[in-house]
């Protein structure tokens, strides 16, 4: 596939991740009497990745996340020459999704961006009031584990065809852990889309949700080949294209 085609797939996939996951948080999590809560939001994020991994994994690898692209790059599964195009497409998809969600959500009387719009935050903007240090550690560790799942599930030695399930459920699990801490990011694009609409504190705290996920992903990209062995050269492209 051409880089342009893969970038379009990344735009669509990241749009779905942010619209589906953040949309569940903004529109459905607190709905009176029938709200889906943390559990529902966690599954929404996991399902977006699982469905897109099957839909576009064979086209772009379904990264949907600058940190995933960086982790695969460091792990030898993704070419550096494609990184900028992937990140640009992911950011564009996330911003477009946040904009679409804003149009829908703002149609309800009483809607207020001050409620957070599913933005990620620390300290007073952490859902559970967790400190900057707690939030930084959580984002690094959870992104590290997410990338280990991705690198392991797409390893040429892993069972074939099950990677999207493992990755989607992995993302669900880390949301169950991390939503109370930071509203969970592990994805700079996912954080950037809503933050640009909220502005103010959300943009001011956005740095953490770029730095921590990329650091965690890069560590995983180094660690996984170190303990599991590097992929064969013939598998480098295949595993990248099957990653989520």
What global pTM score does this model have? Answer: 0.92
CA 83, CA 125: separation in Å to the nearest integer? Answer: 31
Find, among 62, 48, 54, 43, the residue nearest to 18 by Cα: 48
Domain layout of the chain by residue ranges: 3-242
pLDDT digits (tens, 9 = 90+) for 112-140: 998 889 999 999 999 999 999 999 999 99
CA 155, CA 185: separation in Å to the nearest integer? Answer: 25
CATH architecture of 3-242: Up-down Bundle (1.20)
CA 54, CA 211: separation in Å to the nearest integer? Answer: 29
Characterize 108-141 residue by residue with b for buried, 16 or more Cβ atoms within 10 angstroms of its Cβ, and e for exposed.
eeeeebeebbbbbbbeebbbeebeeebbbebbbb
Residue 13, pLDDT score: 98
Q: Residue 235 — pLDDT band, cuts 50, 70, 90? A: very low
Q: Within 10 A of 224 (CB to CB), how many other CB atoms are there?
A: 25
Give, in degrees to the nearest 5, the angle at Cα 9 between 162 and 151. Answer: 35
Q: In 3-state terms, what secondary structure has residue 89?
A: helix
pLDDT digits (tens, 9 = 90+) for 14-56: 999 999 999 999 999 877 777 788 999 999 999 999 999 999 9
């Amino acid at each position: 596939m051409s880089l342009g085609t893969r970038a379009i797939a990344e735009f669509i996939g990241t749009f779905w991740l942010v619209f589906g996951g953040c949309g569940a948080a903004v529109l459905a999590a607190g709905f009176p009497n029938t709200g889906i809560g943390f559990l529902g939001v966690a599954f929404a994020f996991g399902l977006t990745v699982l469905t897109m991994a099957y839909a576009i994994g064979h086209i772009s690898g379904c990264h949907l996340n600058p940190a995933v692209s960086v982790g695969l790059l460091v792990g030898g599964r993704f070419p550096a020459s494609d990184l900028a195009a992937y990140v640009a497409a992911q950011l564009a998809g996330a911003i477009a999704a946040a904009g679409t969600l804003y149009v829908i959500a703002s149609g309800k009387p009483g809607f207020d961006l001050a409620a957070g719009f599913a933005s990620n935050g620390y300290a007073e903007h952490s859902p559970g009031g967790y400190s900057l240090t707690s939030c930084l550690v959580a984002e690094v560790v959870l992104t590290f584990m997410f990338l280990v799942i991705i690198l392991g599930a797409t390893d040429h030695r892993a069972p074939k065809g099950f990677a999207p399930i493992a990755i989607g459920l992995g993302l669900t699990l880390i949301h169950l852990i991390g939503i109370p801490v930071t509203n969970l990011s592990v994805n700079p694009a996912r954080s950037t889309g809503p933050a640009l609409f909220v502005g103010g504190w959300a943009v001011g705290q956005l740095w953490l949700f770029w730095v921590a996920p990329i650091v965690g992903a890069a560590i995983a990209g180094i660690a996984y080949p170190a303990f599991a062995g590097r992929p064969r050269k013939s598998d480098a492209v295949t595993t990248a294209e099957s990653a989520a």
